Structures are given as structure tokens and as C-alpha cells.
A and B are shown apart, each in its own frame.
Chain A
Amino acid sequence: MLPEIGHFALILAFCFALAQAIIPFVGSYRNAIFSIQLAKPLAHGQLLFILISIACLLYAFMSNDFSVQYVAENSNTDLPLPYKIAALWGAHEGSILLWIAILSLWTNAVAFFSRAIPLVFLARILSLLGILSAGFLLFLLTTSNPFVRFLPNIPAQGVDLNPLLQDPGLAIHPPMLYMGYVGFAVVFAFAVVALLNGRLDATWARWMRPWTIAAWSFLTAGITLGSWWAYRELGWGGWWFWDPVENAAFLPWLMGTALMHSLIVAEKRSLFKSWTILLAIATFSLSLLGTFLVRSGVLISVHAFASDPSRGAFLLQFLVIVIGAALLLYAVRAPGIRGGSYFSLLSRETFLLINNVLLVIIMATILLGTLYPLILDALNLGKISVGPPYFNAVFIPLMIPLLVLMGIGPLSYWREMTMLMLIKRLWLPFIGAILLTVILLYVSTGKLPGAVAMGILLATWIMVSTLQLLIDQLIKRKNISFVRHILGMFLAHLGVAVCVIGITLTSYYKVERDIKMSIGDTLPVGPYHFQFISVNNLQGANYQGVDAVFTVAKTNKIISVLHAEKRIYTAQQTALTEAAIDAGVFRDLYIALGEPLSNNTWSVRIYYKPFVRWIWFGGILMVLGGIAAITNKNKSAVKKYE
């Protein structure tokens, strides 16, 4: 009975979404106060019914109701409880339901936090979000209903959740990613309403900014967690694969980053207005595109969802209607939205513009690489794949100027400045960064390899110049309280620098050994000695396996005992490698079991990964920066400071 209630709740939620899409919107143009005031209650009602439907599905998972097809295909009586909850979004149908729930949560957040926005505009924003919600609910109901029953043949046991997904990293990473993806829907709605209103003033930009930063922070957190999950769970120690699914998250992240920066200019200088609107539309379009790419199966990916052309067709039509309409509106209305103040070639405006151009170019090259197999296939030019070497070859050279600019931009002035002023502010951090790089690298390793020196130099350059800004302001103001106004930027930029250090050092100094080891064998890797001690049998709740014990010694002292596992999940009979990781701030030691080659002999993968954790530390710092920027509400103080 409950699954039917869940299904019915979804239908009701769809009706609410439809009403929310139409009534307040029409009302806002006819000054019908009652219709406008309906926006908020309709949004609340929609959320309520979506939550009811989620509760029903959750109950089906908890009670092992295998008559529900989605539960039978993604759960099992032996599946541990936390993963039964995570299984809710472990496959296509449930994850779309989660997506809708999050959209509804954001909608209600907008309704709650946007008291300052005139009700007419708020009603339009909520209506636009209602359109998106109605579209996705229709998608769920027509192509991906999670409440479909297996009747009459009810399986006695479920298939189990994909073993790869049985990991704490997975349990939280999709909700985070979706919070980011869907958060950009709010920004999109703001942008479209700005187009409808025919203007984007400083106040509107100021309203948009916290939502942009919030969505961006969630997306950053999601990508960071996803990378950490891939590192732990995919079994070969990589942290980024340039897989289509990863790119699908990275593309809106790049655009969102550009948008955050152009919003600053729109707010403080009334410039880049139509450009900012375009970025907002593009960011959400890329979120939708990502969803389409992942769900339709047009691209091959390691994380692929089972593909279904009818789903792809629906999503594509929805994408074309929503994005096409927004861009058409843009083409008509954007020429009327002009910014008007002067800035010189040498000014912070220029640096932010270059930042935007570079980010858009980077996004375009990654998009090209992601879609290239599809484009060639569509033109009958053969089936190809584009590998990570392409992405590395284009991404790294394009990132270098961006990182250089990150050190310059925050120290530059609005409107105009002379070259002399710029040099005056930059020479100290420049020398400082070079000295630091030489000291850190040459003194510690005795060598100065070009690629590493480049990476470290860029990172220290960002760090030192951001620090310079802090010190300058301290000297000028003799007051510490202003720090919170630049804290967000400070942390986020620091995060990028930390991430760059992690990527550079782990790529250059990692040691990866694939080797055959028998019990008792010892392998030296860097300063460590790995010894294979024993193999024991293992019995888990829904898997069996073996547990290989290794000790790691440094200068004859055992520093760690590692358990690398090979699991066979009972229900699907799939093997899964559970890597053993000795994590540290400065290095990870990573052991993954390959396959048994004979009695007591296994192929083993042993990695030494220096500074790999800094990649994720950087991500965490960026998220903290986002949080700091949102919580700093004292905007009038910002004005004074500028």
C-alpha cells in the first residue's frame, strides 16, 4: 500500500509544482496579490508531498519490500542499514527523486531567506523553479517511477546495492553534488527573472551572490568527496579520471566559479551585467547537460547508469525547452541591459574579465573533449574515445595563466591603476614566492625539477600574494575586524593553492608498483618496506572475502599494519577490491590486492602517494571559503572597505 501512497504523493507534488509554475507567474503580471501570495504555500505543499514520497520509498527499503522493483534491484536483506538508506539514491530512479527533493528544498530556502526581495519578483523566481520541478517530476513519473511493482512474481531476495557504492564516501557524495547542481537552478531563476524585468542592478546581483556561492560550495564539496570516493573505492588509487561523469560535475563548477567572480563586478561596479546573466544560464545549462549525459547513456562512463533512450529523449526535450527559451529571452532582452561605468585596461575589472574568459575557454575545451566521441559518432567518422592525456594536455597550460592571475587580481585596484602601482604591490610576493619555492624544493630534495618547481611556484605565489593583501590591509586599517570581508576569498584561494601543491607533488613524486608477492616477501618503496604477512578469510554481512595483512616499516620500525581486502558480494557475486590506506598529512601508503596467482601468491598494487590528501584539503578550504563568504552578511561594511 505504501508504495502506492508514495506514487500518489508524487503525482500531487507534480500538481503543486504545476500550480506553482503558473499561478504566481501570471499573477505577477496582473498584480493579482492573492495569486502572488500563493507562491510560498504552493512551494511548501510541494515539498511536503515529495518528503512523503521519499519516506514511503525509504520505508520500502527498510522493510525489504522486494515487490517494489527499485528496492529489489538495489537492496538485499543482508545490506547494512546505512547503505539501505544510501541505496535510496544508488540508482537512477531514486537519484532523480533525490534531485527533485533537493530542488524543492532550495525553492523553500529561497522562499524563506528572501524576505528582502519584492514579493512580485520572488513569485516569479518561485514560478520558474516550479517549472523546473514540474519538468523533473513529469520525467520521474513517466520514465523512471521508483514505485513500480514486480507483480505477480515477487522475488524472494533483492539483487543488492552495487558493491562499488557500498562506501561512506558514496553515501554523502551524490546529495552534495545534487545540492550543487540544483542550487544553480536558483541562480538560473534569478537570472531569468532579471531578464524578464529587463534589468540587473547592484541589489539584484547582491541577492544572487549568496545563492551562487552556496551552490558552488556544495558542488565543490561533492566533487571533493567524489574524488575521495574514487580514490578509495575504484581500487587503483587515482583521484581524477576525466570520466564523463566527473566532467559533468566539473563543467558547471568552472562556470560557477566564473559566475561568482563576475557577480562581484556586477554588484560593485555595475558592469558585465548581460555577461553575468549569460554565465548564470550557462552554469545551470551545464548542470542539466551533465544530468542528460549521465542518464541517457550517450557516453560511456565507469559510473554509467543503465541507459534508456526514452529517458534521454525526455531529458533532451526538457533541456531544449528550458535552455532554449532562456537563451532566446537572453537574445531579446540582454541588449537592453547595459552596464555603464568606465574602467581602464589596468584594473581589477580587467583581471576579473580575463579570469572569466580563461574559465570559459577551459570549460569549452573540456566540453569538447567530453562530447568529441559523440560528435564523431554522429558524423559517422568512427567510434573513438578521448583519454585523460587530452584533458591534461589542454587543462594544465590553460590553468597556468589563471593561477598567475589569482596572485595579481586581489592586489589590483578597481577602475584604474598605473603599472607602477601594480609592481609596487606585487614585487614582494613575487620575490617571496620564488624564494619559498627554492627553499622548499631545493633544500628538501636537493633538486629543482621544472614541472614541480612550476606548480609549487604558482601555489606559493597565490599564498604569498593573498597574505600580502591581508598584511597591507592590517597596516592600513590597524583593525582586524575587516578580515572577515575577505576571509572567504582568502580561504578559497588558499584552497586552490593547497590543491595545486597536492596535485603537483603527488603526480611527480608518487611511486606505483604492481608486483607479484608471496607471503613473507618484502618490497622497498621509497623510504618504506612493505612486507606481506598473511592472508585470512573474511566474512562480512553481505560479502565474503580475504584479508591480506601487510606491515610497513621505516628504518626498521613497523609504523603501520594494513589490511587489504578482496570481497565477493554474495548477492551479485561481484568481486571488489577494498584498498588498505595508511593516510597521513604528507603521504598516503596504499595497498590493493590484485588476484591470487597461486597459493600464498598474489598480484599486489603498492603505492606511495605523497601529499595526495592536500588535493582534498584544498577542496575543504574552498568550501570553508564559500561558507565564510555567505555568513559575512554585513554588506554595508563591504562597501566602506571598498
Chain B
Amino acid sequence: MKLNPIQRRRLLFILLIIIAVALATALALYALQQNINLFYNSSQIAAGQAPLNHELRLGGMVQANSVKRMPHSLAVNFIVRDNAKSVRVSYVGILPDLFREGQAVVVEGKLTVQGVVQADQVLAKHDEKYMPAILK
């Protein structure tokens, strides 16, 4: 089949675009596979449903009187729980302003063999509308 210059040009463009889209899709899918964090609650983690050493998110309440700080560093341990089971979390760094015992948090990190979530990041969950006035 003979193509005139305009058809040839169009074919080339379409090929280029398909290649670009394919590359981008592959890149996006690969990156997604590497970087999505599954969400678990503490009961699911306590029941062994979460994978070890894989980025995950844990949501729940910080148990009252469970926050323990190490004396010479910024390391801190606390317990996250729902109404059934609890999970220990260890973190090194500065906790967010809204982090408090009895408040909901989301922890991003990895589950270790000891069943402790080693946190990279601790996020205090809050909704701008329903904030208690007395948080003590």
C-alpha cells in the first residue's frame, strides 16, 4: 500500500503517541504496584491479615496511657486499638499537633516480625467540623 506524505505523517504520529502512552501506562502501573498502601485496622493486624515488611496504613485510636517516650531520643511507643484488638506502634520523630491519647490516628509504616508497626509517619485524623472543645 502506498501512503501519501500526509498519511505517512499521521501514521508516524499515531505510532509515536501509542508508544508514549504505552510507556507511560507501564510506568504508572509499575509505580502504583510499588507505592500503594493498604489500609488495616488493629484487629486485622492482630489477626495476622497484614503482610510483613510491606508499606501499610493502620487506623485506630491511641489507647489511653499507652504513650511511652524514650529518655534520650525522639523514639516513642504507643498502642493503637479499635474496640477489639490492639497493636503496638513505634516511631522516631515528632508527633503531629493533634496527636493525643484517645484520638484517632492513621499510622503509615511496616509491620515487623515482632508484630510491631514501625511507623514512618503518624497522622492525626481530624475533621474540621466536629472538634471537641475540651481535649485533656
Contact = CB atoms under 8 A, between A and B. Distances in A.
Report A-B touching, CB under 8 Å: yes
Interface of A: 73, 91, 162, 235, 304-306, 342, 344-345, 353-354, 357-358, 361, 364-365, 368-369, 372, 382-387, 389-390, 393-394, 397-398, 514-516, 571-577, 592, 594-595, 597, 603, 605
B36 interface: yes
Which are the 4 A-B pairs with shortest beta-carbon distances? A594-B94, A393-B31, A390-B35, A383-B39
Interface of B: 6, 9, 12-13, 16-17, 20-21, 24, 27-28, 30-32, 34-39, 55, 57, 69, 72-74, 92-98, 108, 127-135
Contact of A574 (B31, B93, B98): B98
Nearest to A354: B16
Nearest to A365: B28
Contacts of A571: 133
A573 B129 contact: no
Nearest to A307: B127
A357 B28 contact: no
A365 B32 CA distance: 10
B57 A365 contact: no
B95 A364 contact: no
Given A571-B133, A603-B74, A162 B128 contact: yes
A224 to B, nearest CB: 24
Given A304-B128, A368-B32, A603-B74, 7 more contacts: A235-B96, A305-B128, A361-B21, A372-B32, A573-B133, A574-B131, A594-B74
9 contacts: A304-B127, A357-B16, A387-B37, A387-B108, A393-B30, A394-B28, A573-B133, A575-B97, A603-B74
Contacts of B34: 389-390, 393
Contact of A398 (B24, B55, B108): B24
A306 B74 contact: no
B31 A572 contact: no
Contact of B73 (A304, A397, A516): A516
A193 to B, nearest CB: 29
A357 B15 CA distance: 12
A104 to B, nearest CB: 27
A306 B126 CA distance: 10
A600 to B, nearest CB: 15
Contacts of B27: 365, 393-394, 397-398
A278 to B, nearest CB: 14
A592 to B, nearest CB: 8
A572 B36 CA distance: 34
Contacts of A605: 94
B20 A386 contact: no
B38 A393 contact: no
